[in-house]
Chain A
Amino acid sequence: MAADKAADLQTNLNSLTVKRPLYEGSTQYKSWRYSPEQLEQVRTSLNAAAVAVIRDTFEADEPGSSEDVLFLNANEEQLLVKLYITKVPQLCGHFRFPEEVEATAISYLKRFYLKNTVMDWHPKNVMLTALFLATKTTNNPISLESYTSNIPKTSSSDVLDLEFLVSQSLNFEFAVWHAHRALWGIWLDLQSLPDVPEDLRPQDIYDIAIKHVRASRFTDAELIYTPSQIALASLTLASPVLAEKWADLKAVAGAAQPLSATLDPTLELIKYIIMQMGHPPDVEAVREVDRRLKLCKNPEKVPGSKAYIARQAAEHRRAEEKRNKKAEDVRRAGTDGGNPFGSELNEDEKAKQLAELDDDDD
């Protein structure tokens, strides 16, 4: 705790004295950056907690019933999420959404499953909600009706029911910075470099680089590296020469070694991630996971099941209690609100006062 405070203080001091990159003010930098180890840890503990809860639910329903259930592990969850990530570009192509929408929806999906388990919320539904939300947050809104009518077997409630849950899971941090924008920026920079004539930077280099950026979206790269790092790694895959020229342009004068040398180890890691993991998962393997998911998903989330009904009843009861308490508060405010001068309250004021108490319906 004290260490936290000291760190905070240090951060505050830094912000006063050191000029920091704009990126460091973003929620992406503050809330959605992990080391590979942290990612692994977040996912494993999330998975373990989810399994424990669902096991209890099974047991509450019918003792001993969880023994034979083979729950998904963190990697299997990941595999399923990845399949639905790869479906986003297909859907976006169908709607002709801009790349910003596609990239944002994919980020939302990844972030969502750092707070939730597929055993509670199937990625198929979450993907549809995340994409719809992304159209709005990137200022490319379409009506819910034209959205759902273009996706088979999807009702508007399939999309809207999860909107709050997705927003909460994102911590209402809707802004996402993307590698494809960074790549475009680098490409524009290259056009103004004096020693990079046009024949050294043909369009197909950009086309290859953007393909690598798109492949990186199927990986964890954006949760670990900054958009510009991913963009530069993608350019390195397309043209090491151009990437180095650009990096050296950005180097600080008087640095001990060229920037490209400092960056190299990071770029190598990103290149590795893109090449090794930047493709859709094996459909057969995912199908197997999905089959098992049917047996181990949280019964509380399956309409009609005993656990679902029990949960609904419990929620109902809680809401009822809350309403009763509120009614009681209103009644009390009505009788002794102005005590000892209550009798002097005129009827209008009393009505207003009641209306106010009543209106706050959370």
Chain B
Amino acid sequence: MDAVEKANTARQKRWVKDRKVGEGTYAVVYQGREASTSRKVAIKKIKVGQFKDGLDMSAIREVKYLRELHHQNVIELLDVFSSKTNLNLVLEFLDSDLEMIIQDRSLVFLPADIKAWMAMTLRGLEFCHRNFMLHRDLKPNNLLIASDGQLKIADFGLARDFADPGHKMTCQVITRWYRPPELLFGCRYYSSAVDIWSVGCIFAELMLRTPYLPGESDMDQLKTIFRALGTPTEEDWPGHTKLPDYVPVGQFPRTPLRDLFTAASGDTLNLLSRFLVYEPRRRINARDALNHAYFFALPHPSHPSKLPKPAAQTSRPLEELDGNVDIASAGPGVKAVAPNKLKRKLTSPDGTDLRPLARRLDFTQHVKRS
């Protein structure tokens, strides 16, 4: 066997697939572990054989960028190997994502919790942008949460390098609800500001506990944005009416953010409004956002380990599987679920009723501070 093949086989042997945890059109995801240490990992097996053009672009992008990026708030690619016609990415194992946490009605978010998630998101994103890379698909379910509470940006299947000036890029990127108006207007020259808009939408969603700008179609998305933030004028956003897909979608007045985010502090609203600036060049960048007064004002961000974690509902189906598969060898990962579950029961005995309480808590915090 050739040296290169041997090295590949050696890599393959380092990792054990334990059970399937998800399946999409392009990939199957397994939970697995490192054979020598039992460290829990996720193995994403991409079926390459089915692509007529060989390795597909999203797999290539993911591998290319994750190979280069090493940061506490970016998911770690531990290894890559191929098996027959499949490409296998070994990723660090992360229990949950921000979407699950937002949707878990039994969890109460303190302003300090939201600040911690925002800080971690921006640190990861600032690192991507510093490395000349656009993510182009930020949304809560691509922000994964490790068992120690650290947030990690994941899914680099749409990522790309910054384009040179004058080089066209596709505007069909970013999940609709998180897509900035310039892309909806068909702008083919854009910057890291597109990711920042998504961060703004995520920030709002963390406070509202529901998607902030849920448009039903691309056209409706623009309407939804303008209804929330007011239709931009030429002064707000010079030249936007000249963008390729510009269409007037009606005049909506600008309503103060304060009307919707009743419990938020002044700093919070100021930062939110800087993320959601129409003119991409005036939108705040990741580095400046990290230096925004919001992050220096009280309350300090929660320590990652103290952040709300979802009840074990997502791991439950896995546990049911465990019973059938003999590899449920009660590794450290499996045990880790139980105390969480217990804690969840202690803090929220009756689940769904806590939402009003969350609002109330936010409010008192705000009043206390101002």
Contacts and interface: CB of A to CB of B under 8 A. Distances in A.
Q: Which 8 A-B pairs have the closest CB atoms?
A: A362-B83, A174-B64, A172-B80, A144-B53, A160-B54, A163-B54, A164-B82, A169-B4
B20 A116 contact: no
Interface in A149-172: 156, 159-160, 163-165, 167-169, 172
Given A115-B3, A337-B324, A167 B55 contact: yes
Q: How large is the interface on B (under 10, 10 to 19, 20 to 34, 35 or more residues)?
A: 35 or more
B4 A139 contact: no
Interface string B1-42: 011110110001000010110000000101000000000000
Contact of A167 (B5, B12, B65, B82): B82
A150 to B, nearest CB: 15
B342 interface: no
A360 interface: yes
A349 B131 CA distance: 47
Contacts of B54: 132-133, 136, 144, 159-160, 163
A19 to B, nearest CB: 12
5 contacts: A27-B67, A137-B64, A168-B4, A168-B81, A362-B45
B33 to A, nearest CB: 14
B83 A27 contact: no
A175 B7 contact: no
By secondary structure, the A interface counts as helix
B160 interface: yes
A353 interface: yes
B55 A133 contact: yes
B130 interface: yes
Contacts of B83: 361-362
Interface string B37-72: 000000001001000111101001101110110100
B7 A168 contact: yes
B365 interface: no
Interface in B335-363: none
A345 interface: yes
B192 interface: no
A136 B28 contact: no
A202 B127 CA distance: 37
A163 B67 contact: no
Given A143-B53, A144-B53, A164-B82, A356 B60 contact: no
Nearest to A349: B324
Interface in A23-70: 25-27, 49
A354 B282 CA distance: 56
Given A333-B326, A359-B28, 11 more contacts: A115-B4, A136-B54, A136-B60, A137-B60, A139-B61, A175-B67, A337-B325, A352-B324, A353-B324, A356-B20, A361-B83
Contacts of A137: 60, 64
B325 A26 contact: no
A323 B191 CA distance: 50
Q: How large is the interface on A (under 10, 10 to 19, 20 to 34, 35 or more residues)?
A: 35 or more
- Residue of A175, A349, A352 ringed by the most chain B CB atoms within 10 A: A175
Interface in A319-333: 333
Contacts of B64: 137, 174-175
Given A141-B53, A360-B30, A172 B68 contact: no
B86 interface: yes
Contact of A22 (B53, B130, B160, B324): B130
Nearest to B47: A361
Contacts of A144: 52-54
Contacts of A116: 2-4
Given A143-B53, A362-B84, A356 B2 contact: no
Contacts of A168: 4-5, 7-8, 81-82
Contacts of A333: 326
Nearest to A173: B67
Nearest to B28: A359
Interface string A104-141: 00000000000110001000000000001100110101
Contacts of A361: 83-84, 86
Contacts of B220: none
Interface string B292-329: 00000000000000000000000000000001111000
A174 B63 contact: yes
A141 B52 contact: no
Given A337-B326, A349-B324, A362 B4 contact: no
B161 interface: yes
B106 interface: no
Nearest to B77: A172
Contacts of A240: none
A93 interface: no
A11 to B, nearest CB: 12
A338 interface: yes
A22 B160 CA distance: 17
B88 interface: yes
A163 to B, nearest CB: 5
B67 A174 contact: yes
Contact of A120 (B2, B60, B61, B130): B2
A22 B130 CA distance: 8
A362 B20 contact: no
A133 to B, nearest CB: 7
A176 to B, nearest CB: 10
B131 A22 contact: yes
Contacts of A175: 64-65, 67-68
Contacts of A143: 52-53
Nearest to B68: A175
A172 B77 CA distance: 11
A141 B57 contact: yes
- Residue of B4, B17, B52, B161 ringed by the most chain A CB atoms within 10 A: B4
A299 to B, nearest CB: 14
Contacts of A169: 4
A123 B81 CA distance: 23
A353 B3 CA distance: 36
A132 to B, nearest CB: 7
